[in-house]
Structure 1
Amino acid sequence: MTYKPRHNGMAWGARCAGAALLLAGLGLIAWNERRVMDYTSAMTRHGAPVLDLGAGGRPTAGQYGSLTRVSGVPQIVDAPDDSEFNVHADAPILIRHVEMFQWREITVGGATHYELDWVDRPIDASNFAKPAGHVNPGAFPIQGRQFEAGEVKLGNFKLSEPILRAFPGRVTVPPNEKALPPNLAATFQRSGDTLVTSNKPANPRLGDLRISWEAVPLQSMTVLARIDGDTLVPAAEREGRDGFDVQVGERSLLDVLPALPEPPQAVLLVRLASFLLAVVGAWFLAYTSRLERDLLFAIGIGAVVVPAVAGVMWLAGDAMSASVWLLFAVLGAGLAIWRVQQRASP
């Protein structure tokens, strides 16, 4: 059967429409890959790679040294414990505060007076203007301490101590006087959320001790830090920064690192749209030839021209990406050639 060309007007209209759609597809893929390349270049200038792993990311090969954003509620694997007083907390950090009822010297407007108050450090009364009658006991028999969890995880990563110590917020941890060891139970009694040595907590005496506990609360956190195996650690300090960032709540990568360039949107969708435009364009261009209405041929042409343009653009910047694009172009060329041969067969 001999192919009969269609009316010249229809042929030229189809060709013009096909060429316009094909060029639109090529222009769209060129614009899309240029913005992806610009974003990649900006990220490279920023320094180490930044991974946005969120709550579901896991330690994998090739991540070492990269900055990452990880979020979620911390998991306490090995909780902190003040074994001396049998106080525990399901928290990253437990803090014991110790205060002593001591004399304080207060000078206002040239007038000096003295009052007894709870103070969290020993006050040397020998430096007072009038030390007589205002002598303090001296060193504390019990010291304040900070207890850190043996292991805390955020998502699937462990957190290093500097990051744990930066967690914000404090909540009161009430003691359990019934759990006190016998020697301390004979000395301390509970007063509200504290333990005191006062026989009359409302009327403490000089030298009485007051002990209380606080913990860092469990709450949703976002951490930006460097990956070291399965642990998040501070990155190298620069420009006076700590090398990491800790924020309360679920924060985006741009929230915790606003200097980063904003990533391009809908990259895959634009790539698909450019491919479809090229396929429709090839369909119209072939509409007045022996390959009219051959969808596979149009797909093959679309798969040649769009990946070829993208592959050439990536050659100078990323050989791996360029290779993947050009591989698709070769496969598309193979499909188009096969369809031409099939339609040419008697």
Structure 2
Amino acid sequence: MRAKKNVNGLGLAWGARVAGALLLLCALGLIAWNERRVMDYSAALSRHGSPVLDLGAAGRPAAGQYGSTTRVSGMPQVVDAPRDNEFNVRSDSPVLVRHVEMFQWREITVGGATHYEMDWVDHPIDATGFAKPAGHVNPGAFPIQGRQFEAGEVRLGNFRLATEIVRDFPGRVQVPVDGKSLPANLAATFTAHDGDLVTSSKPDHPHLGDLRVSWEAVPLQDMTVVARIDGDTLVPGKQAQPGDAGFDVQVGERSLLDVIPALPEPPGAVAIVRGSAYLLAMAGALLLACGGRFRRDILFAVGVGMVAVSAVAGAMWLAGDAMTASVWLLFAVLGAGLAIWRVQQRTARGVH
């Protein structure tokens, strides 16, 4: 009877060891598959030209980021708003644009018939080229020019934005003026009308040579910017091809793949797979110890599992990324230290 129990116990022990070996092999295969897809993703990103960081709205400038491409999103913050000092017009926006138009003669030809009409035009029209210049002479150069004013500093998240990026912000909204803040010399010349400034004494009936000055601003709205990190500033990156600005600006919250569709899709659940590989390896080590002196020694199984999984992952990263490999091998050393400590503990107490 006792011999039968011994045979059954021995069979159970060997069955547990076989199951443990299979679990350990599954753990090593799982970590190898996971690290291979992470390595392939890193290699694909490097072929894109530079590392790509997906910092989103919470990212901060940090050491080691210089030269990397990143995605940052959120509502832009205008730290130093743009101002048109000549007209004393200011707007809490990234960009303020002054438009200047003059009421001038225009030549229009339709179906071979030419006629002339006066309208607001944002550039001087040379009447000497008209088919009938007599009676249709325009005043010439504008006394005031249109201009664009950028904010002194615009931030997105925790990064400053280079002027080239701010200038690319889309959208325009009218900035109405009431004329009360105009300097004295201009207040004597301009009259507010429908949010604009005009020189006409009768704004609804302008005359040849009258000026109309208006302002537009880039509206504040959620933005997504992909650009290169230079310290605490996002700047244009290397131009991959002619016409490429070296950065990308889009309205709203956009994912990295939305902005750069050519990027490879990142592997999913990397941390979960790594944790699963560790758990499988630890369970396998615990089963392998069945019937031996380390049966039911959870700390010993944890150490052995850490050594097996970390050593395989570290060996895979050695050729591609020494820093990542060193982190994995550090975990292997810690696991080995834990397993050795348990051996010494049991030896010292004479446990068999």
TM-score when normalising by structure 1:
0.96
Q: Name which of structure 1's ranges 323-332 and 279-288 shifts more when overlaid on structure 2.
A: 323-332
CA distance in structure 1 between the aligned counterparts of 2:92 and 2:229, rounded to whole angstroms: 25
CA distance in structure 1 between the aligned counterparts of 2:131 and 2:191, rounded to whole angstroms: 35
Displacement, 1:43?
A: 1.3
Counterpart in the other structure of 2:95: 93
Give CA deviations for 1:175-215 in whole Å, capped at 9, x if unaligned.
12111122211221111121111111111111111111000
Q: 1:24 aligns with which of 21, 26, 40?
A: 26
CA distance in structure 2 between the aligned counterparts of 1:181 and 1:103, rounded to whole angstroms: 30
Displacement, 1:263?
A: 1.1
Counterpart in the other structure of 1:269: 272
Partner letter of residue 37 of structure 1? M
Counterpart in the other structure of 2:180: 178
SS at match of 1:263: coil
Contact 1:100/1:121 (8 A) holds in 2: yes
SS at match of 1:175: coil
SS at match of 2:86: coil
Counterpart in the other structure of 2:236: 234
- Alignment partner of 1:288 is 2:286: no
Q: 1:34 aligns with which of 29, 36, 39?
A: 36
Partner letter of residue 38 of structure 1? D
- Alignment partner of 1:329 is 2:338: no
Displacement, 1:83?
A: 1.4
Give CA deviations for 1:282-326 in whole Å, capped at 9, x if unaligned.
111112212111111111110111111111111111222222212
Displacement, 1:5?
A: 8.6
SS at match of 2:23: helix
Counterpart in the other structure of 1:79: 81
Counterpart in the other structure of 2:223: 221
CA distance in structure 2 between the aligned counterparts of 1:229 and 1:297, rounded to whole angstroms: 46
CA distance in structure 2 between the aligned counterparts of 1:324 and 1:143, rounded to whole angstroms: 61
Counterpart in the other structure of 1:338: 341
SS at match of 1:53: strand
* Percent of aligned pairs with the same amino acid: 73
Displacement, 1:49?
A: 1.3
Counterpart in the other structure of 1:141: 143
Counterpart in the other structure of 1:309: 312
Gapped runs of 5+ residues in structure 2?
A: 1-5
Displacement, 1:173?
A: 0.1
Contact 2:178/2:195 (8 A) holds in 1: no
CA distance in structure 2 between the aligned counterparts of 1:5 and 1:222, rounded to whole angstroms: 69
Gapped runs of 5+ residues in structure 1?
A: none
CA distance in structure 1 between the aligned counterparts of 2:323 and 2:169, rounded to whole angstroms: 41
Partner letter of residue 101 of structure 1? F
CA distance in structure 2 between the aligned counterparts of 1:58 and 1:69, rounded to whole angstroms: 12
SS at match of 1:313: helix
CA distance in structure 1 between the aligned counterparts of 2:138 and 2:286, rounded to whole angstroms: 95
Structure 1 residues 179 and 139: alpha-carbon distance in aligned structure 2, compared to 1, 3 A threshold: same
Contact 1:5/1:288 (8 A) holds in 2: no
CA distance in structure 1 between the aligned counterparts of 2:7 and 2:92, rounded to whole angstroms: 81
Displacement, 1:75?
A: 0.9
CA distance in structure 2 between the aligned counterparts of 1:168 and 1:126, rounded to whole angstroms: 38
Displacement, 1:29?
A: 0.6
CA distance in structure 2 between the aligned counterparts of 1:323 and 1:178, rounded to whole angstroms: 68
Contact 1:225/1:234 (8 A) holds in 2: yes
Contact 2:98/2:214 (8 A) holds in 1: yes
CA distance in structure 2 between the aligned counterparts of 1:210 and 1:148, rounded to whole angstroms: 22
Give CA deviations for 1:211-242 in whole Å, capped at 9, x if unaligned.
11000011111111111222211112221211
SS at match of 1:178: coil
Contact 1:6/1:288 (8 A) holds in 2: no
- Alignment partner of 1:251 is 2:249: no
> Where does 1:2-21 land on structure 2 (aligned, <5 Å)?
7-21=9-23
SS at match of 1:287: coil
CA distance in structure 2 between the aligned counterparts of 1:63 and 1:113, rounded to whole angstroms: 62
Q: Name which of structure 1's ranges 49-58 and 267-276 shifts more when overlaid on structure 2.
A: 49-58
Displacement, 1:6?
A: 6.4
CA distance in structure 1 between the aligned counterparts of 2:180 and 2:344, rounded to whole angstroms: 90
CA distance in structure 1 between the aligned counterparts of 2:194 and 2:166, rounded to whole angstroms: 28
Give CA deviations for 1:44-72 in whole Å, capped at 9, x if unaligned.
22211111121122222222211111111
SS at match of 1:288: coil
